[in-house]
Structure formats: structure tokens, C-alpha cells
Chains A and B, each alone.
Chain A
Amino acid sequence: MIRLGTILWGLLVIAAGAAMFQVKYQVVRLESELTDLNHEIARSREATRVLYAEWSLLSDPQRLARLNDNFLHLAPVTAAQLGSIDRLAQIPLRAAGTLSRPLLAAAPAKGSIAP
């Protein structure tokens, strides 16, 4: 009886030891994975910061205005171009399809993309 108990305990000890080694190496592996991921996160964050800074640089209104002057020639919206939905009711209805044609024809060549 004593023999059997001893063998059982011995086996348990070996199993526990083996399991512990297994867990330990797993932890080491996860640790290094974590460190890698953290470096990756730090790198990505820095890259994001750079991209944000670049976006801010590219969307600088002074730059956009310069580009507009060179290529688009858009002008600020004037009060005459704005209206309310109620005003639409005062404009007489037209048959479908007739609206786009005169608008297209009236589009000034100057407003299109410059050379």
C-alpha cells in the first residue's frame, strides 16, 4: 500500500514539475511577444503622430488657398448663393430633364480646371 502511494505521489510531482516548466517557458515566450507588441504599438503611435502632423501640414488653409489659386479658382460662397428650403417652394416647377441642360450650358469655362 505504501509503495503504491509513493509511486502515485512521485508521478504527481513529476507531472507538476513538467507542467511548471511548460508554463514557465510559455510565460517567457509571451513576455517577449508582449515586448515586441509594445514596441510595435510605440512605433505605430509614432507613425500615427507623424501622419497627423503631415495631414495638418497638407491641410493648412494657406496651402489650400495657394493650390486653389493655381488650379481651381473657387471663390467663397456669397449670400446670394444661399437659400432656405422655403424659398424652393416659390420657384415654379419644371419638367424633369430640362433643369440640367441649361445649368450645364451656363457653366463658365473659367470655373473649370485651369491649365
Chain B
Amino acid sequence: MKANAARIAQDDPCRPRHYRPVPCAPAPAEGPAQEALEISHTRLLVTAALFVLAFAVIAGRLIEVAGFKAGDNHLARFHPAARAYAARADIVDRNGVLLATTLEVSSLSANPKLIAAADKADAAHRLAAILPELSESEIFGRLASDKSFVWLARQLTPRQKFAVIQLGIPGLAFESEGKRVYPKGDLAAHVVGYSGIDNDGLAGIERSFDDVLKSRDEPVRLSLDVRLQYILRSELARQMAEFSSIGAAGLILDVRTGEVMALSSLPDFDPSNPGAKPDAIFDRATLGIYEMGSVMKIFNTAMALDDKVVTFDSKFDATKPIEIAGFTIHDDHAQKRWLTVPEIFMYSSNIGSAKMAAEAGADRQRDFLGRLGLLQAPAFELPELGTPQVPHPWLPISVMTVGFGHGISVSPLQVAAAAAAVVNGGTLYAPTIVMHPGGAAPQGKTVLSAQTSEQMRRLLRLVVEHGTGKNAEAPGYLVGGKTGTAEKIVHGRYAPHALISSFLGVFPINDPRFLVLVMLDEPHGNAKTGGYATGGMVAAPAVKRIVERMAPIVGIQPVDEDSPEIRRSLMVGLPSPQGRKLAAN
């Protein structure tokens, strides 16, 4: 302390000789000097604190990373190689059966600059032996170019790839790319659709779900059931061959949800080679629109009953054909007497249906068909959708013809969706080919009363039991349905031998679950059908077999049709020709 004071004292060369500073702490600075000192002090402290904090954070993180391994697994997921290779997601049926998938294949490219000029001819010769779709001169032409990248062949088979590697030619390279594979082939061709070589969807679900398929790994799950699809397709093919028709279409619909369980149009094609049969790409079930004929009487009768225009006891004169505006409306199964509403439906009387429609009027008819979605294109996931052709203007004769299914063209899909609403208690569900996510109840809209629906179920059963649809009777499964036979318009006239014959069946009719629609395009009668090619002869037997084959798969138990409860629930009172009341069921 003493030495220190002396040093300070001696530090000042200008001190007076007699003055000796008092040995103590230096006097505190005053004014601005002190302020500056304090500021720098504070700054130093703050900086130090920040550094301490930063180091504490780093230390903490180090301890966390080194000491607690949990939670660092997610880092591995950022690794680029961990993502699965999928240029396009799969398409599966409702049970997860694969309908379309993408497999990795190699394509062969070359860098001509890396191949010695003298070797090029030899390389071309040897490659041509492996790649049959390319000629030797073609390969040589590409190898001789002065580019540094040329494609040689896309999507080699594993065998070809191995052979190319064995050649050991320098300058060749493989590029991985996705190839679309359709393991079920033509089974659901029109639904699945197909895609091009660059993995762009060009038709069907492949096209309408193109963005979805490209943007995720999770498969698109359809409402289709491959087993039912096979049953439907094989029965359609059988009918088509038996009655030498030019085409066939059909679908199976869940009437409680609007889900399409099977949808087929014949002829069909192989999605991996759609170009081979360009005509077969046309989808008769969704894109084709047809005058469906008597099947449309389902809607005519439902309209008249729902709007209380008629009751089961109302009678119409079907003794002679109707002459209107130069046309004659006559019956195929003419009874030549007054018929009640159930009889009109059962015998498929055009005259009775036309008169019933006329009594309801154009407004009711248009309104009812509109509510059932039969006047505009349906909202459906497939891009191939037909827009209905409806009468314009809606003349009195149109009202009559629409009553029995002529003068209005709709797609089989629309007919099925609308008929499902008629039988399921009156709720219209938009048809869908994509499965409703687990348990989600679809939104339907009520289009007719439950009572009308109940009456329609009785009428549909009547057709199969006593009317034109007897061939659709699958014992135990309570099939109800309606036949339809319409002449196609060829060169502006109805052609008597070019028919659209169809049958729309629903089972079990006392508590409908499934709707089966079968349509044949230009069937020809054979000896077995006595030359007839009507819906009841050519389409109804197919529906019967489809119902019998699919019922065990979908878990529907056969019932005893003669049990009293069922007889009562499906009874329709019919007058006998002698005027006695018959109880048909």
C-alpha cells in the first residue's frame, strides 16, 4: 500500500515539491467521466451475460443430444433415400386387392461421346439382339449422333437389363422409372382406366384421380369388389356370346350407400395396351346413353304413385293402341282390356304407362325425373360420363313416350342410381366408385315417400313372380325387378332388330341391399328363347345367376319365400280376368 501510494505520487512530474499526496484511494472521478465508466461497465455485464446464456444453451443441447437419445429418430427420416419409390400411388378395390400399381423398371440410355467410333457398329449389332423393338441401323443412328445423351429403350424387362449389363459396353446407363402395371388386366378396365408411358392418367380413375395418385403414397381405395366384378363381367360375357350382341354393360350398386360394387362394359380392353382395341374403350355403362325402354316405367309408376295421381286400384284402358301425332303406341304383351296400375307394371303395358304419364302431366314428370337426377349428367368419379338427352320441347307426345322409356336417353349408371332411391325408402345417394371412408354415412336426399318406395318394391317383386321378369327369379333371394326392351334408333328410325335389352333387379326386395343392372346391346334371340331378344329373355337370366353367385359372398341368407311374413309384406291385390280378386305376391 505504501509503495503504491509512493508510485502514484511520483507518477505526476508536475507535482509541487512540498506537496505529497495523502496515501489513500484515488478520488472518485466526477461528472461525464464517471458516467462513461458506468455505461461501459453495464455493457460489459450485459455482453457477458449473453455469452453465458449462449454457452448454456449450447451446453444444454449437447447434453440433450448426447444423453437422451429419444427424439432424434426423426432426423433419419430427412434422409433422402428413406422415401419409397412411387411415381404413382396404387389403386385398390374395397378389400385392398391391387388393381393398378407402379413398379420400378430400368430404361436404357447412352452417352455416344463415351463410345469409341470404331466400337459403335459392333455395339449396335449386339444391342439389337437384346432389344427386338429396335433395328440395328436405328441403334447405330442414335449412337452415331454427337449428343451426350440419347434414349435407346424405355422400360426394359429385368432379363433385358441383365443381358445389357453382360455386354459390358461403356457409355450405357440405366435410368429408373415407374411403370404402371395392371395385374387384373381387363377385369375392371373401364373403371381403372389407363395411363400413358410418362405416367399421366388418360382414362378412368387414372385420369380423374391423376393429381391425387401423383401426390401421395397411400392407395386410392375404390368401392369396387373384385369378386363381384368378376361375377358381373363373366355373366355379361356369357350373355353377350350366347345372344351374339355387339356389346353389354352392367353394374352392381349398394342401394343403401350409392357405392358401385361392380361396373363393367363389354367389349373391354387391356389397360396396359389400350391402343389395341380403340372401340372397346367406350364405356357403355357410364358414357353410353340409351333409350332404356320399359325399365323407365319404374320412375313413371313411382311418380304417379308418389304424386297421388293414381293408386293401386286406378284403371286405364289398354284395349287398343294409342294414335297420337302420327305415331302408334302399342303393347308387346297386349292384354286388350282395362288394366290396374300393378297390371300395367307387371305386363309392361306401354299404353297404360303412356296414359298414366299423360294424366300426371309434363310438369310433374319433368320435376320427378329431375329430382332423381335423370335430366343432367351425374356427379361421378369417372371422367367418361354421358349427358342425358331429354325431350325439347317437352310435348304431350314426349310425356307419353317418356312414360315408357322412349324419347329420353340416359346412361345405365343413372338409371341404377335413380332406381336405388325408388326402392331404398326414397333416399337418393349420388353414385360413387370410391369407397366411403370407414363408417361415414353418405349424405342422401329424400326424393320420394317411404310409402311409395314400399309400393314400388311390391310391384317389382310382382314382375319377377308373375310378370315379364320370371327368368330373374333366384329362389330364396327375393329378386324384384323390371325388364326393358327398346329399339335403337338407326339412321333416324327405330330399327326392329337392333334392341337394347335390359333387366334391373333388386334383392332382397323386402329389404333391398343390392341392385343389379344388366344391359345387352343388340342381342339376337336364339332357339332357346324362341327367337326373342327381350330383356326378360336375355338379361333377366344373367341377373338371376349374378344374384345367386354374389349372395353368399356379400352374406345374404336365402329366405323361405312362402313364409307368411314375406307373403304379407310383398302382397299386391290383383283382379283376375273373371273379376275375382287374386292375391299375388
Q: Which residues of A contact B (CB under 8 A)?
A: 34-35, 38-39, 41-42, 45-46, 49-50, 52-57, 59-62, 65, 76-80, 82, 84
Contact = CB atoms under 8 A, between A and B. Distances in A.
A56 B103 contact: no
Interface residues of B, number: 33
Contacts, number: 77
Given A46-B85, A79-B474, A65 B552 contact: no
* Residue in A46, A50, A53 whose Cβ sees the most chain B Cβ within 10 Å: A53
A76 B234 contact: no
Given A45-B84, A82-B558, A61 B230 contact: yes
Contacts of A34: 76, 79
Contacts of A46: 85, 103-104
B85 A53 contact: no
Contact of A38 (B79, B181, B234): B79
Contact of A52 (B79, B98, B226): B98
Contacts of A49: 101-104
Interface stretch (B13-21, B182-190, B335-343): B182-190
A51 to B, nearest CB: 10
10 contacts: A34-B76, A38-B81, A41-B82, A41-B84, A49-B102, A60-B185, A61-B187, A61-B226, A61-B230, A62-B230
Nearest to A48: B84
B183 A60 contact: yes
A50 B477 CA distance: 41
Given A45-B85, A62-B230, A79 B558 contact: yes
Contacts of B234: 62, 65
A62 B185 contact: yes
Nearest to B547: A79
Contact of B183 (A57, A79, A82): A57
A35 B79 contact: yes
A33 to B, nearest CB: 11
Nearest to A81: B552
A53 B183 contact: yes
Contacts of A56: 97-99, 101, 183-184
B477 A79 contact: yes
B475 A79 contact: yes
A53 B98 contact: yes
B549 interface: yes
A111 B127 CA distance: 53
B557 interface: yes
Interface string B161-205: 000000000000000000001011101000000000000000000
Contacts of B101: 49, 52-53, 56
A72 B74 CA distance: 52
A45 to B, nearest CB: 5
Nearest to B233: A62
Given A55-B98, A60-B184, 13 more contacts: A39-B81, A46-B85, A52-B101, A53-B103, A53-B181, A56-B183, A56-B184, A57-B183, A60-B187, A61-B230, A80-B476, A82-B476, A82-B557
B150 interface: no
B436 interface: no
Contacts of A60: 183-185, 187
B567 interface: no
A42 B226 contact: no
B238 to A, nearest CB: 12
A87 to B, nearest CB: 10
B371 interface: no
B210 interface: no
B551 A79 contact: yes
Interface string B76-103: 1001011011000000000001110111
B120 interface: no
Contacts of A61: 187, 226-227, 229-230
Contact of A77 (B97, B181, B183, B552): B552
Nearest to B237: A62
A39 B104 CA distance: 14
A103 B99 CA distance: 41
Contacts of B181: 53
Nearest to B230: A61
A56 B557 CA distance: 29
B381 interface: no
B548 interface: yes
A79 B184 contact: no
Contacts of B552: 76-77, 82
A84 B84 CA distance: 48
Nearest to B83: A42
A79 to B, nearest CB: 4
Interface in B314-368: none
Closest 9 CB pairs of A and B: A61-B230, A79-B476, A38-B81, A56-B183, A79-B558, A56-B98, A57-B183, A77-B552, A76-B549
